[in-house]
Amino acid sequence: VVVKRVAVSLWAFIGLASLVFGWVATRTPAVTAQAGQSVAEAGRLAFDRDCGSCHGCPELASASDEAARLVDKLATHGPSSVEDDLAIVAYLVSDPPCSTGLAPATRTGGDH
């Protein structure tokens, strides 16, 4: 009886921990892209940043047309596929639309 209670409680806890994991892991910003990293690596890292202030940013207006179009696409439609996301992020990092060098946190549907 005791063992059953412990096991059931433990699985309830694991289930709850998984939910928290899912919620936090898809929202927590990751590390900042560091100098000297490859574009792809920086892209992956920057992909996880949540700048949060792109909307109405004056610097975005002066970014290249392609960067602005991609940012708009991400803001409007969200990520489409892994390959698309990484390609977009890599492009944004190599041609940053803002001086912070941060790419949009697309996975939360942000409006960067």
Partner 1 sequence: MSLLFRGVLWFGLYLVVVLLPLGVGLLATPGGHHPGPWSGAASGLGLAAFSVIVIEFALVSRLHAASEPFGTDALMQFHRLMGLGGLAAVVVHAAWFAFAAGSVNVLNPLDPASPVRAGAAAAWLLLAMVTASVHRRKLGISYEAWQLTHSIGAMLVVVASFAHLARHGSFSSAPALRALLVAYVVALLLLMAWYRLWRPWNLRRHPWEVEYNRDVGGSTRALGLRPLGHRGFGFLPGQFAWLSTARSPFALAQHPISLSSSAVTTEPPLIEFAIKALGNWSASKVPSLSPGERVWVDGPYGAFSIDREPGTGLVLISGGSGVAPMLSMLRTMRDRGDPRPVVHIHGARSPERMALRDELEALAGQLNLRFVPVYEDPPEGWTGERGFVDAVMLARYLPARPQDYQYFVCGPGGMMDVVESALAASGIPPERIHTERFDMV
Provide the phi-psi class of 36: left if phi over 0, else alpha when psi is between -120 and 50, else beta. Answer: left
Q: How far apart are CA 24 and CA 85, in angstroms?
A: 20
Q: Other CB atoms closer than 10 Å to residue 44's CB: what's the count?
A: 19
Which residue's CB is nearer to partner 1, number 45 or number 63? 45
Which residue's CB is nearer to partner 1, number 15 or number 94? 15
Closest separation in Å from C-beta 5 to partner 1? 9
Closest separation in Å from C-beta 39 to partner 1? 15
Q: How far apart are CA 31 and CA 93, in angstroms?
A: 14
Which residue's CB is nearer to partner 1, number 62 or number 80? 80
Sequential DSSP letters for 31-86: PPPPTT--HHHHHHHHHT------TT-HHHHTS-HHHHHHHHHHHHH----HHHHH
Binding residues (CB under 8 A) for partner 1: these are 1-4, 6-8, 10-11, 14-15, 17-19, 21-28, 30-31, 44-45, 47-48, 79, 82, 85, 107
Closest separation in Å from C-beta 34 to partner 1? 11
Closest separation in Å from C-beta 59 to partner 1? 25
Which residue's CB is nearer to partner 1, number 46 or number 63? 46
